[in-house]
Amino acid sequence: MSSAEWADGASRAPGPPGFDLDHAGLKAWLQEDDPARLELLWMEADRVRKARVGDAVHLRGLIEVSSHCVRHCLYCGLRAPTVELERFRMEADEILACAQEAHRLGYGSVVLQAGEDPGLTKAFITEVVRAIKGDTPLAVTLSLGERDDEELREWKAAGADRYLLRFETTDPVLYRRIHPNLPGVPSDRFAQLQRMRTMGYEIGTGVMVGIPGQTWDTLASDILRFREFDMDMIGVGPFLPSPRTPLGGQGVAAFLAAPSDQVPNDELTTLKAVALTRLVCPDSNIPSTTALATLDQARGRELGLLRGANVVMPNVTPVHYRIRYEIYPGKACVNETAEACQDCLDGRIRSLGRSLGKGPGGRSSRAM
Ligand code: SAH
């Protein structure tokens, strides 16, 4: 059954036999703690992953192109009010060199990610996208935050293939709380995702698991929204508190006092969310996130790949910039060169009996 058929059956409880994937079913699965039941979930997520997107693990080289940011998102270490950060913005030729390195390492795509930085102008990104597309066969994904339609259209015309913008939460009250508006600049990530789809981008989104204020109901709704929007890529990782932010330091206690049914930001809950995301969006590309690998440096990457994920995003940013792109502390592999990272990942992926993806690794099919 296609995800679109699922989407219009809101009153049904779709899913593989024994798996009710309506709101109540998802909420119950998220809170499940019986090891035997969880084993069923892991097996089903892995079965669906294998049947629908296969054994290839697609590698996307992540390039952290700028740590400047104008936004005040309460969870992110790059937020504008953080003063003790040494900010950087890469030059066009440096970004191109990273993309060439990703191509040399055999990756099929690169992701240009940054804080929301007006210094990354329309013309600059256009030039960078054109250079990468002209010089390599890589698919190019942008993840530059909320940008206006004129920019997005021009970058698409320059050859950008995909855009990642996590909607972060379906709860509008929580959304506003963690994303203080800039004066005169409202924030509407769902609207931008819709418009980007119309422009022809493959679109990716996602949420953090355990952001303060997230309840089981919220997270179940988030997962249902992935299906309603038929997202091409879905990143789900644990919230990792940054001491530089209001949600990481002393202030968090006041914020957290609210819900009694707060979702924990732990590995098990994240893995349940990843597995359920695979069941509701069987054809989507789902990364085993760096945040998960940071929480469990020994096994996080592998466990994500075993429980529904089929993508990894190795960091190809030069190490001296990477350590300054501190969204949260202790980021996995922060000191490893792209080459070292590649050797390690290659071994980890093969040890699971999986293969390295070839080519750009786009969404294989979409029910329109
Ligand atoms: N400025 C871009 C890129 C942000 S970084 C944008 O806003 O889209 C990409 C993702 O990292 C964010 O969407 C968020 O979900 C995640 N992230 C931010 N802070 C985090 C934290 N403290 N712990 C875990 N993930 C975090």
Task: Give φ, ψ of 109 to 5 degrees.
Answer: -155, 165
Domains of the chain: 3-356 (3.20.20.70)
Atom of ligand 1 nearest to the CA of 144: 2
Residue 333, annotated ligand binder?
no
Residue 98, annotated ligand binder?
no
Q: Contact, 81 vs 182, CB < 8 A?
A: no
What is the identity of the amino acid at 8? D
H-run or E-run covering 338: helix 338-351
Coil, helix or strand at residue 306? helix
Closest C-alpha to 42, from 330, 349, 339, 302: 302
Closest C-alpha to 309, from 56, 33, 41: 56
Residue nearest to atom 11 of ligand 1 (CA): 327
Show the tokens assigned to 270. 């994240």
Ligand 1-lining residues (CB < 6 angstroms):
75-76, 113, 115-116, 143, 145, 165-166, 168, 208, 237, 239-240, 242, 291, 327-328
Whole-number pLDDT of residue 253: 59
Whole-number pLDDT of residue 256: 55
Q: What CA–CA distances, in Å, run from 218 to 23, 173, 174, 203, 300?
A: 10, 11, 9, 22, 24
H-run or E-run covering 292: helix 290-295
Q: Contact, 45 vs 307, CB < 8 A?
A: yes
Whole-number pLDDT of residue 12: 46
Considering just the CA atoms, what is the radius of gyration of the chain in Å? 19
Residue nearest to atom 8 of ligand 1 (CA): 145
Residue ranges in the chain whose pLDDT is less than 70: 1-15, 249-258, 364-368
Atom of ligand 1 nearest to the CA of 240: 23
H-run or E-run covering 35: helix 35-53
Q: Among positive and negative, which fits the CA dihedral 335, 352, 208, 71?
A: positive
Report how far residue 235's alpha carbon sits from residue 332's, in angstroms, rounded to the nearest whole number: 16
CA of 64 to the centre of ligand 1 (A): 12
Record the pTM. Answer: 0.93
Closest C-alpha to 85, from 323, 355, 352: 323
DSSP string over 66-126: E-------TT-TT-TT--S----B--HHHHHHHHHHHHHTT-SEEEEEESS-TTS-HHHHH
